[in-house]
Amino acid sequence: MILVTGGAGFIGGNFVLDWLANPTAEGIVNLDKLTYAGNLTTLKSLEKDTRHVFVQGDIGDYELVLSLLKKYSIRAVVNFAAESHVDRSIHGPGDFIQTNVVGTFNLLEAVRVYWTELPEPQKQSFRFLHVSTDEVYGSLSPTDPAFSETNSYQPNSPYSASKAASDHLVRAWHHTYGLPVLTTNCSNNYGPYHFPEKLIPLVILNALAGKPLPIYGDGQQIRDWLYVKDHCSAIRRVLEAGKLGETYNVGGWNEKPNLDVVHTICSILDGLRPKTDGTSYATQITYVKDRPGHDRRYAIDATKLERELGWRPAETFETGIPKTVQWYLDNQEWTEGILSGSYREWVQKQYSR
């Protein structure tokens, strides 16, 4: 079996669903603390799938992690668990240090102890894959080349600094202890099951609710967007064929200013769900004060992953974004559940311990 951490979150949840969609895939132990961002309704379709074992717990809980590794004879760990929202990291960085830095450290230590005691063949084939972000590289000017794996780390927010620290720990555990690690640094993801505090789901849901569509500053911050299923396929590819100790950038070659992303969503919604008063959803766009230290541009050069492991994204932004908007229209129960608090009550009943 494999251990997935943070598998009730946005990307982890998509990863678990995609992995288990293959009927011959091995099982997953899914360790998630169920913070505000963890959502078990994402995994509802797996309720009867005995290959999915959900455990509510913290990656920083060394004893718990070690016991799970032993109990399920784990052969690989994929670490998604993190505090992931930049705005929240500005207002309260403590949780980011605790989970992303201290939590990753405790996780690595439990994995190291377990891995050290494995018999030789299992020791050789064991993998620890750490999922990280392009934000560790800092910000680019409009003319800079995209981030490659050799760019230096220059994190600017508490979130990216905490992720950078975790990447360094993972690297050090490879160089110092020989732990068989892999790291992926990915650009902005979008797609189903995205917590509605992030730009794309926020814009879709606010538009439908007739609320303002907030744009930070001039809206010209450029991000490279990747459909979440493509991120999942990249992680699977790196897990099966990545070179130990290496990092792989994952991106979609889809650089877009935030304002263009919002206008694209508005025009898709104008076609799919026209407003009764005949105006465009774009009339709801509202400019708000920019986030402090807001990075201007991220762009990812994913050539290494393509050249060495043959990975390419299946979606472009133009194909992935209409699918995403349609998904939120078809799955309003999912978001309403999170926003109304009924989800929290359900979890408390199911997993109170």
Residues that bind ligand NAD (CB under 6 A): 5-6, 8-12, 31-35, 37-38, 58-60, 80-84, 99, 103, 131-133, 163, 186, 188-189, 195
Residue nearer to ligand NAD on the CB measure, 17 or 82: 82
Q: Please, what is the minimum distance in Å from the beta carbon of residue 320 to ligand NAD?
A: 13
Q: Please, what is the minimum distance in Å from the beta carbon of residue 241 to ligand NAD?
A: 20
Residue nearer to ligand NAD on the CB measure, 129 or 269: 129
Q: Where do runs of H (alpha helix) occur along 74-133?
A: 86-91, 94-96, 104-116, 120-125
Q: Please, what is the minimum distance in Å from the beta carbon of residue 84 to ligand NAD?
A: 4
Question: In 3D, which of 148, 119, 114 has the Cα closest to residue 134?
Answer: 148
Q: Where do runs of H (alpha helix) occur along 178-257?
A: 199-208, 228-241
Residue nearer to ligand NAD on the CB measure, 139 or 284: 139
Active site residue 134: yes
As a whole number of Å, the end-to-end CA separation of the chain is 24
The whole-angstrom separation of Cα 65 and Cα 313 is 33
The whole-angstrom separation of Cα 280 and Cα 256 is 21
Catalytic-role residue among 32, 58, 83, 135: 135
Q: Please, what is the minimum distance in Å from the beta carbon of residue 207 to ligand NAD?
A: 20
Residue nearer to ligand NAD on the CB measure, 118 or 347: 347
Catalytic-role residue among 58, 134, 255, 295: 134
The whole-angstrom separation of Cα 147 and Cα 150 is 8
The residues, any chain, with a CB within 8 Å of residue 293's CB and separated by 6 or more, are: 90, 156, 157
Measured from each CB, the residue nearest to ligand NAD is 9
Catalytic-role residue among 137, 159, 190, 248: 159
Q: Please, what is the minimum distance in Å from the beta carbon of residue 353 to ligand NAD?
A: 15
Residue nearer to ligand NAD on the CB measure, 167 or 215: 167
- How crowded is residue 203: how many other Cβ atoms within 10 Å of its Cβ? 28
Counted residue by residue, the chain has a size of 353
Residues noted as catalytic = 134-135, 159
